[in-house]
């Protein structure tokens, strides 16, 4: 009887040990599963943040920048229609080189990228702020919280417009929260290059009263498309980049007229 009792005790202890190991195994597997779920959620959210940065922030910036640049160029270097202009066939050409009375020269108004970047920043701020829309992702069950107000910093080089869009937000899914500071967007659009061509023409007109367009085109390997009209006594230019023909800037060089022109004249 004693031996049978001992055997029973050993059996019970063995069963307990097996059950304990089974419990530990299942708990471990559950923790591993939770850990993997946590990692998968973080990886997924990290990918989603990059998608949001591109589809919401970058696309919004691209749309607003392209539209704003076209408006600025079409107005001859401004976001508002020019007050000082020469009108030809219903089109206003902003005067960028104003005739200096009693001289053969004109006073040029160059296009400066630093000034344009500041004007562009101010012009598109509200437009970008209004076009940023997270509703598509919120409708899919994400919780998105904006941490700070939008700030934009624009720099312009010869061939690019660079935006640093600071718009911190968090995105939450199944208890996992990740954050983003915004985005940095680079638009390949050589506005600076176009300004160089305009300023070269203005400089030549202000000093010599003429420009060798053919030689300038050859020197720059036909990078620019240039048209010039000469409604006496003024000159009207339209310049674009060969690779970006949709971005055209019209402007005028003023000279002494044969008659008073009240429309668009300076006060």
d(CA 254, CA 232): 10
Among residues 71, 98, 108, 60, which one has the least CA distance to residue 264? 98
24-46 tens-digit pLDDT? 544 444 443 434 444 477 888 88
The H or E element spanning position 251 is strand 244-253
**Is 117 within a domain?**
yes
pTM higher than 0.85, yes or no?
no
Q: Is residue 13 part of a domain?
A: no
Q: Which residues are CB-contacts of 81 (< 8 A; sequence separation ≥ 6)?
A: 75, 92
Long-range CB contacts (within 8 A, 24+) of 234-238: 234/86, 235/205, 236/86, 236/88, 236/93, 237/93, 237/198, 237/201
Q: Is residue 164 part of a domain?
A: yes
Phi, psi angle pair for 266, to nearest 5°: -70, 155
Q: How many domains would you assign to the chain?
A: 1
Q: Grade residue 141 by pLDDT with cuts at 50, 70 and 90.
A: confident
pLDDT at 102: 85
Residues 46-72 pLDDT 10s: 888 899 999 999 999 999 999 999 999
171 within domain boundaries: yes
> When comparing pLDDT for 224 and 173, which is higher?
224
Q: Is residue 2 part of a domain?
A: no
Confidence of residue 189 (pLDDT cuts 50, 70, 90): very high
Tell me which residue of 182, 57, 67 sits closest to 128, measured CA to CA.
57
Amino acid 44: pLDDT: 81
Domain contains 210:
yes
Q: Is the pLDDT of residue 82 over 50?
A: yes
pLDDT bin (cut points 50, 70, 90) of residue 13 is low
Separation of alpha carbons 65 and 51, rounded Å? 20
- C-alpha 72/C-alpha 52 separation (Å) is 29
Question: Does residue 146 fall inside a structural domain?
Answer: yes
Domain region containing 133 = 42-253
Average pLDDT across the chain, whole number: 85
Output the pLDDT for position 62.
95
What integer pLDDT is reported at residue 201 of this predicted model? 96
């Amino acid at each position: 009887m004693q031996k049978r009792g001992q055997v029973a005790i050993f059996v019970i202890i063995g069963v307990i040990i097996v059950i304990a190991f089974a419990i530990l195994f299942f708990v471990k597997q559950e923790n591993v599963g939770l850990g993997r779920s946590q990692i998968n959620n973080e990886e997924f959210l990290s990918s989603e943040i990059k998608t949001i940065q591109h589809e919401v922030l970058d696309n919004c910036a691209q749309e607003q920048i392209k539209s704003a640049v076209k408006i600025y160029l079409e107005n001859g270097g401004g976001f508002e229609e020019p007050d000082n202009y020469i009108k030809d066939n219903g089109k206003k050409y902003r005067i960028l080189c104003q005739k200096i009375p009693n001289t053969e020269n004109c006073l040029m108004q160059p296009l400066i990228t630093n000034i344009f970047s500041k004007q562009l920043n101010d012009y598109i701020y509200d437009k970008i702020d209004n076009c940023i829309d997270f509703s598509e992702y919120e409708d899919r069950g994400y919780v998105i919280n904006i941490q700070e107000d939008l700030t934009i910093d624009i720099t312009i080089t010869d061939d690019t417009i660079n935006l640093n869009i600071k718009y911190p937000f968090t995105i939450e899914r199944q208890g996992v929260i990740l954050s983003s500071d915004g985005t940095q967007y680079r638009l390949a659009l050589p506005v600076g290059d176009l300004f160089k061509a305009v300023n070269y023409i203005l400089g030549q007109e202000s000093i010599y009263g003429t420009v060798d367009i053919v030689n300038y085109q050859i020197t720059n390997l036909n990078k620019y498309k240039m048209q010039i009209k000469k409604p006496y006594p003024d000159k009207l230019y339209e310049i674009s980049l060969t690779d970006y023909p949709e971005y055209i800037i019209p402007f005028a060089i003023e000279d002494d007229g044969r008659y008073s022109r009240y429309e668009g004249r300076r006060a």
